[in-house]
Amino acid sequence: MYMYWVIDFFKNLANDRFMPHGMCYQWQPVTLWSNVLGDLVTAFSYFMIPAFLIYFVSKRKKIEMKGLFMMFAIFIISCGAVHAISAVNVWIPFYNLSGFMKLTMAGVSLATVVLMYINMPEALKIPSPSDLQVINDQLKAEIEEKTRLQTELEQQREKLQKTIKLLNSTQEAAKIGSWSVDFATGESYWSNQVYRIHGLEPGSPTYLREGINFYREDFRERVNEVVKQAQEEGKSWDEEWVLVDINGNEIWVRTTGYPTYEDGKVVGIEGLIIDIDQQKRAAIALEEQTVELQKSNAELESFSYSVSHDMRAPLRAINGYAEILKEEYADKLDDEGNRLLNIVHASAIKLGELIDDILAFSRLGRKELTKRPVEMVELVHQVVDEVAQSPYWNADVKINIEDLPNAMGDQSMLKQALFNLIENALKYSSKEEKIEITIGSNAEEGESVYFIKDNGIGINMEYKDKIFGVFQRLHSSKTFEGTGVGLAIVRKIIERHGGKIWLESEEGIGSTFYFKL
């Protein structure tokens, strides 16, 4: 029965009980061919579309909902088959086949609908190309940002390395090393320079105990003490110790240490170690020199003290007895005897003056300087009054005292200096008919420069430095009396004030002595 129906069906695929569909078009060519062509081209397209679809699906490795695509393909093929049979039906009435095809198409389309319904939620999840574009753009931007950050990081890393290098070279140049100790791990860090200070290659293994043992034995107790104080009391240190490097060289170092905290607890120490060997040794040498100098100064002091006593005493005797001789025995001596006696007497006086001047000069070096404001005009007037008692003062002396700025200095020392300078000016002008001495001042780069100008015999500028030395005299004492200490005393006074003295002079014209304090 079933078989019969099937046979019948195929028997009736093309039966002539129906008219071909062309009859409906009344064989009108336009109607007929437009329908036939429409169906054929559609059928062709409907066969080609699934072909492309299948090709696409097979080629695309990753594709969502492959089944749906296949279903679409079958659905479109079945549509194509319906159109193809429609074109055939114009001439041959395969209406059964056509019906069968349509039923197949209906089934397939219905299945497609069901399948679409099932797959819809998943299909909705598939991002659209524009969504994908947005995501893509975002992704691109993220990648760019990441690349930028990476470059920046790289630059920072390079910078950091440069900084570390710079720090290392700075530490090397400054002979400063930095170190730290972590109590929890027992690990210590030494910068390259710390190794170098210890005479080690950078990177050699280090331990706190080794570090301590590098210090000279007499410092170790102190080292342990400060480390303990840092650990227990949070005290920092800054001290100078002697370190014995790996080669046995003793080096003075300054070390500092500061406790490092975590949650209020000391967890380690960090600090610096500075090679101060050269400075320290220089300072020690200087200190020794100072002590030596103080010693020799004290010796000098006791020397001048004993000179003042011991040399003056016999001199007083020579002088005293010579004077008594002159007074009481002059008539008992002949002229030559008196001449010789006078020489003895004058020489004794002269030697006495010399000793007094040397002692005054040496006292100057030891005397403490008490700086106070000094009214220079007033002081110069006082000095001139005293100089006026001098035997060099004759009737024709003109002293000009200009307006002088006040000075900061030791009044009695400045008085002595001014006395010597003005007396000097008078002395070396004493052969002139009219003596003119000017005491004035001018400003030089904001500093007051005082001057004493005379119209005396002048000095050959060749000797401009020599005349300030002790016992330097340019003239025999027959021409001008003096011990040769006066200007040395002046220079010492000016220099003790931190000042400077110099002169301008021309032989036969006069001299000008300048000084500033």
- Nearer residue to other proteins within complex by CB, 130 or 389: 389
Q: Where do we find the tokens 């500075």?
A: 274
Centre a 10 Å sphere on the Cβ of residue 435 and count the other Cβ atoms it contains.
22
Does position 315 interact with other proteins (CB under 8 A)? The reply is: yes
Q: What is the torsion angle, in degrees rounded to the nearest 10, for the CA atoms of residue 135, residue 141, residue 145 and residue 148?
A: 140
Q: Residue 474: CB partners within 8 Å, gap ≥ 6?
A: 459, 460, 463, 466, 467
CB of 334 to other proteins, least distance (A): 23
Candidates 16-24, 105-113, 209-217, 320-328; binding stretch for other proteins (CB under 8 A): 320-328
Half-sphere exposure of 137 (CA within 13 A, CB side): 5
By the 8 A CB rule, do 286 and 312 touch?
A: no
Does position 157 interact with other proteins (CB under 8 A)? The reply is: no
**Listed residue (487, 474, 362) closest to 416, CA to CA:** 487
CB of 465 to other proteins, least distance (A): 30
CB of 357 to other proteins, least distance (A): 12
Does position 411 interact with other proteins (CB under 8 A)? The reply is: no
Choosing from 125, 309, 332, 478, the residue that interacts with other proteins (CB under 8 A) is: 309
CB of 301 to other proteins, least distance (A): 9
- Nearer residue to other proteins within complex by CB, 6 or 313: 313
Give strand ranges (E) for 87-197. 176-182, 188-190
Candidates 122-130, 217-225, 317-325, 420-428; binding stretch for other proteins (CB under 8 A): 317-325
By the 8 A CB rule, do 380 and 418 touch?
A: yes
Residue count at the site for other proteins (CB under 8 A)? 24
Does position 316 interact with other proteins (CB under 8 A)? The reply is: yes
> DSSP letter string over 399-435?
EEE-----EEE-HHHHHHHHHHHHHHHHHTTTTSSSE
**Listed residue (493, 203, 218) closest to 370, CA to CA:** 493
Choosing from 236, 308, 347, 390, the residue that interacts with other proteins (CB under 8 A) is: 308
Does position 323 interact with other proteins (CB under 8 A)? The reply is: yes
Write the CA distances from 498 to 298, 369, 492, integer angstroms.
23, 11, 10
Q: List the structure tokens of 386.
A: 């005293």
Choosing from 139, 164, 246, 317, the residue that interacts with other proteins (CB under 8 A) is: 317
CB of 513 to other proteins, least distance (A): 27
By the 8 A CB rule, do 155 and 172 touch?
A: no
Does position 303 interact with other proteins (CB under 8 A)? The reply is: no
By the 8 A CB rule, do 505 and 439 touch?
A: no
CB of 324 to other proteins, least distance (A): 7
| Interaction residues for other proteins, span 108-147 (CB under 8 A) | none
Candidates 65-73, 165-173, 189-197, 343-351; binding stretch for other proteins (CB under 8 A): 343-351
Does position 324 interact with other proteins (CB under 8 A)? The reply is: yes
For 341-354, the three-class secondary structure string (H helix, E strand, C coil) is HHHHHHHHHHHHHH
CB of 313 to other proteins, least distance (A): 5
Query: From CA 219, how far away is CA 213, in angstroms rounded?
Result: 10
- Nearer residue to other proteins within complex by CB, 366 or 398: 366
According to DSSP, residue 335 is labeled: H
CB of 416 to other proteins, least distance (A): 13
| Interaction residues for other proteins, span 344-383 (CB under 8 A) | 348-349, 351-353, 355-356, 359, 363
Candidates 106-114, 287-295, 319-327, 497-505; binding stretch for other proteins (CB under 8 A): 319-327
Does position 3 interact with other proteins (CB under 8 A)? The reply is: no
Which residue ranges make up the site for other proteins (CB under 8 A)?
305, 308-309, 312-317, 319-324, 348-349, 351-353, 355-356, 359, 363
